[in-house]
Every structure is written in structure tokens, then in C-alpha cells.
Amino acid sequence: MHSNFVTPPDYVETVLVVNATDEVIATLGEAVKTLGRPYNVYFYNDTMNNRDWFDLIRTKADVILDAELNSPLEYFNK
């Protein structure tokens, strides 16, 4: 576990990715290393069976991406 200390003018965008496969998670992990901007990326799927956690993160997320509907990588490559 780690903490982020953020000062102006920096901003760390929070992204929630739902229904990602292990392959999608690995691909995103490699992609964000080279983007030059920080992200907090949370992952969730229904097998995790923790709706309270999901609802908490959902309210904090700047963006929610459903990997079953679109490739999350497209969002990070924009």
C-alpha cells in the first residue's frame, strides 16, 4: 500500500475499470508506465463480491470504463 502526496498544479486522475481480464490489466499496466502522467486505476468485477467498495470507488472515480464494452486502452491512448 502506498500514498500519493499531490501539490498544485498536479492532479492524479482516478479511473475505475470494470470487467477487465488479466490480459487487459497487464496491458494497461505497461501502457501507463510510458504516458507521462499519473493515474490511480482501480479494477473491479462482480466476482469480487464487494459492492460497498465498488460504490465507494465509483463515486470517487473521474472516469468509469467497462472493458466488456470498449477497450480501456483507447482511453489512455487518447
The C-alpha atoms of residue 54 and residue 18 are separated, in whole angstroms, by: 9
In a domain, 65, yes or no: yes
Residue 11 belongs to some domain of the structure: no
In this prediction, residue 36 carries a pLDDT of 85
- For CA atoms 44, 65, 14, 74, the dihedral sign is positive
Expressed as residue numbers, the domain containing 59 is: 17-70
- In a domain? residue 2: no
- For residue 47, is it within any domain? yes
Give a three-class secondary structure readout of 3-59: CCCCCCCCCCEEEEEECCCHHHHHHHHHHHCCCCCCEEEEEECHHHCCHHHHHHHHH
Work out how many domains the chain is built from and give that number. Answer: 1
Cα–Cα nearest to 20, from 42, 53, 50: 42
Q: What is the rounded CA–CA span in Å between residue 49 and residue 28?
A: 23
What's the pLDDT score for residue 58?
96
In a domain, 61, yes or no: yes
Share of the chain above pLDDT 70, in %: 100
Note whether residue 46 is domain-resident.
yes
Reported confidence tier of residue 4, pLDDT bands at 50, 70, 90: confident
**pLDDT tens profile 44-60:** 998 999 999 999 999 99
